[in-house]
Each structure stands twice: as C-alpha cells, then as structure tokens.
Amino acid sequence: MSTIPVRLQTGLWRKMRSAGAFVFRDFHLTRRYASWVVVFLFYSIVNSATIVLIGVAAGDSMQTLNLILGVLMWSFLAVLFGEIANSISYERWEGTIEYTFMAPVSRLTHLAGVSLFSGAYALIRVIIVLFALVAFVSLDLTGANVLGILVVLLVGSLSFMGLGLMAAVLPLMSPEHGAQGTNIVQALLLLISGVYYPIDILPAWLQPFSVISPATYALNASRKLLGIGIEGSEPGQLAGQSIASVLPELGILLLFGMVFIPLGLFIFSKAEYWAKQTGKLKRSG
C-alpha cells in the first residue's frame, strides 16, 4: 500500500497546526490589548449609528437599510483588511518580527493563520455592531436573502485578504510610516466603492476606479439580495433576489480573490527578501 497519501495527510496536518498556532498567538495578542479593542469597537458602534441615523432623519426607510448594509459590510471588510495589513506593525510592537520570519514555517502558512484570525475577529465585531444598531433603529429583514449575503461576504473576503497581504508590505518596508500607508489604502477603497452612496455621484474622473475595488461588487450583490433598488421592495416586505441573480458579481469577486491572494503572497515574499537584505527587520519603528 502506498504511503504517499499518508505523507500528504501528515504534511497537511502539520501546516494546519502551524496556521492554528498563529491564530492562537493573535488571539492572545488581541486579548492582551483588550482595552484598545473595546475602545475601537465602541468607536465603530457610535460611528455606524451616526451614519445610519442620517437615513432615519431623512425619513427614508430604504435609504436607512442601505446605510445599515453599508456600515456592516464595511465594518467587516475594513477590519479584515486592516488586521492583515497591520500584522507586521503588531509584530514590530511585540518585538517578534525577526523570530516569526526565522520560524521553520512557510510564509503561506504564517499568513494563512493571520488571515483566519482576522476573518474571525472581523466577523465577531460586525455581529456586535449589528446588535448594537438594533438599539438605534428597527430592523425588519423579512424577504431578504440573508444566506446569500453571507455567501457574498465569504467570497468577497478572499479578495480583501489578498489586498491586505499587499498592504502588509508597507509596514515591512517603512517601520515609521508604513502603518499610515495602510490607512490611506483603506480610505481610498472606502471612497471609490460606493459604500454609502451610488458610484455615479463620484466625480467622472474617479468613477472608473470603482471597478478595481472588490467592495463595489460585494455591495452591489448584497443590495440585490437585500432587495434594495428593487421595485416594490420595502422594509417588512423586502424583495430579496435569489443567489442566481448575483452570479456575475460572485464570479468577479472569486476572480479577484484568485488573483489578489497569489499576487499578495508574491509581493510580500519580495518585500520580505528586500527587508532582510537591507536590515529593516532589525528596526523596531
């Protein structure tokens, strides 16, 4: 009997354990800075409520629902992107970056563990924000395709993981200013993706950039599934569309993920090599 399948299984199990170790490490790192987590979570809740109340003040229930979708989607995607992009900054603060890069694990395994924790952390945060928003505005999702929205969120997260890996090279290359650079990238994605407003109100020169943001397609698909922009749809009787209606958006999101994740890994590996050659890892920032 061939032992190749057993070897493959053993190798896969080792990689999974190694990735799980990074998840475990990041969990305890987050727990160590629990006070900061609470502060940023409180700010996220208040900021989300402020945006949603704009729709309430306008007396437009569908616009309010659109804003709720926007704050929840962006809360998840932005945290996912930010946690991955700033993972190198966290390593520098803890003084572990050299040890991590010397560990006998592949960079794919390392970054997979970081991405898994970031996804779980972002999901927990968005659930908390959702429950907090209920205290500010009534939410009736009868007729919405909630399961379809979760599928969009899952597929869309792949591309944001890839973008996060690309942005993570900024703190690697610049200990002093790299973290600020990741915030600039995140802000630009927020601007061009139409999170809170239609793309067509952007300046004409800026609108074409929206096609390169995965968030644009994730939001468009989620609005269809929620029933936003569908004739006759209203809170309590939402005309949420089927998952088949957003297959083009899902296909584009999947393509983004298939391109961005390998590209992010490639860019990160090149930046890591450059940092090691130039001694950047020895700098604490």
Q: What is the pLDDT of residues 88-104, one digit of tens each?
A: 888 877 777 777 888 78
**Token digits of residue 160:** 């944001």
Give residue 285's pLDDT. Answer: 46
- Each domain of the chain, given as residue ranges in start order, spans 16-282
Q: Is 177 helix (H, G, I), strand (E, B) or coil?
A: coil
The torsion of the CA quartet 138, 140, 146, 150, rounded to 10 degrees, works out to: 0
Look at residue 2 in the predicted model and tell me its pLDDT: 47
What stretches in the chain show pLDDT beneath 70?
1-11, 176, 281-285
Distance of alpha carbon 231 from alpha carbon 54, whole angstroms: 23
pLDDT value for 124: 93
Where do we find the tokens 């569309």? 241
Distance CA(126)–CA(280), nearest Å, equals 35
d(CA 174, CA 89): 10
pTM, two decimal places: 0.86
Q: What is the pLDDT of residue 10?
A: 65
Per-residue confidence (pLDDT) for residue 229, from 0 to 100: 83
- Give dist(CA 211, CA 208) in Å, integer: 6
